[in-house]
Amino acid sequence: MAWVSTAELAAAVSEAGGLGIIGSGQAPPDWVRGQVRRARELTARPFGVNVMLRSPFVDAVMQVLLEERVPVITTGAGNPGKYLPDLQAAGIRVIPVVSSVALAKRLVRSGVDALVAEGMESGGHVGELGTLPLVPQIVDAVNVPVIAAGGIFDGRGLAAALMLGAAGVQMGTRFMCATECTIHPAVKEMIIRAKDRDTVVTGRPTGHPVRVLRNKLSRQFEELESRCAPVEELEKLGTGRLKAAMVDGDVEYGSVMAGQVSAMVREIQPAREIIRDVVRGAAELLSRAGQWVVARE
């Protein structure tokens, strides 16, 4: 959600009763500080920041978040263990995103507060397991709250995640079409037009596969991968392409990171309306859950 979940979207989600997350990506520390302060201008409610641990600015960004006393940090692409003592001493909750049971166990041993179990249906960087088998395995393996992510669009997804043992859900793709999301309108239009098979995973040879909406860039990746191009060539092709899509609106040669639920998004809505729809839908389903239980004879 780098270049996607800015202060405006995060604040709107928090104002609506969720926990908005600013995506810091590989942004420099001054940008992150500005986003945190902008979010505080827009909401008095808690919000968080996602930190990509492979960012060249990760140490400086963590220092900014310590100084700003951000309530929650989610992390991706690594182990935040070395930052935990200082963050938790400052009262900051640390919630890594994981895609395997082994990583979940390792991070819980390091002392994290909760986990986001993210299935491969999600947009952006993905693992190999789907949400449905991943979430209950991680729930059974750890003793901290687990938040489900990947392939969740409406109340049906929230209800299913809760039945799998999750404490809540993390959603990205649907919020790309929130009114408050500042990405280029061309990206929102592309998501709304998407069909069920319009996402593809590229970049597996690099060790960091990414789910995107199919376009000319994804076909270039597929062609390079088919002829076993060097990893360096693949990485060069991908450099700067996320910003090109989300900020500049290049939906042909930009990296349009979005999940499989793109095919379910049909309109642009305020964040509050999205959250209300998800929560009400789940509540209605769960209230009727007893009807589907077969009584013992």
Give the single-character DSSP code of 173: H
CA distance 76 to 25: 10
> How confident is the model at residue 297, as a pLDDT?
47
116, 74 in Cβ contact below 8 A?
Answer: yes
| C-alpha span between 265 and 262 (Å, rounded) | 5
DSSP 13-41: HHHTTS--EEE-TT--HHHHHHHHHHHHH
pLDDT digits (tens, 9 = 90+) for 17-69: 999 999 988 889 999 999 999 999 999 999 999 999 888 899 999 999 999 99
Buried b (16+ CB within 10 A) or exposed e, 111-145: ebbbbbbbbbbbbbbbbebebeebbbbbbeebebe
d(C-alpha 260, C-alpha 282), whole Å: 20
pLDDT at position 232: 86
At residue 48, φ and ψ (nearest 5 deg) are: -130, 180
Give the chain's residues under pLDDT 70: 292-297
Given the DSSP bridges, would you call strands 124-125 and 210-213 parallel, antiparallel or unpaired?
antiparallel
pLDDT for 293 equals: 65
Query: What CA–CA distance (Å, rounded) separates 239 from 252?
Result: 15
Are the CB atoms for 16 and 275 separated by under 8 Å?
yes
Q: Are strands 93-98 and 115-118 parallel, antiparallel or unpaired?
A: parallel
Of the candidates 5, 4, 62, which has an alpha carbon nearest to the alpha carbon of residue 28? 62
| The predicted structure's pLDDT at residue 18 | 95
Inter-axis angle of helices 216-226 and 231-238, to 10 degrees? 170
Is the dihedral angle over the CA atoms 2, 176, 5, 74 positive or is it negative? negative
**What pTM was estimated for this model as a whole?**
0.90
238: CB partners within 8 A, 6+ apart: 203, 210, 221, 255
Per-residue pLDDT reduced to its tens digit, 249-270: 999 999 999 999 999 999 999 9
What is the reported pLDDT for 4?
A: 86
pLDDT of residue 274: 97
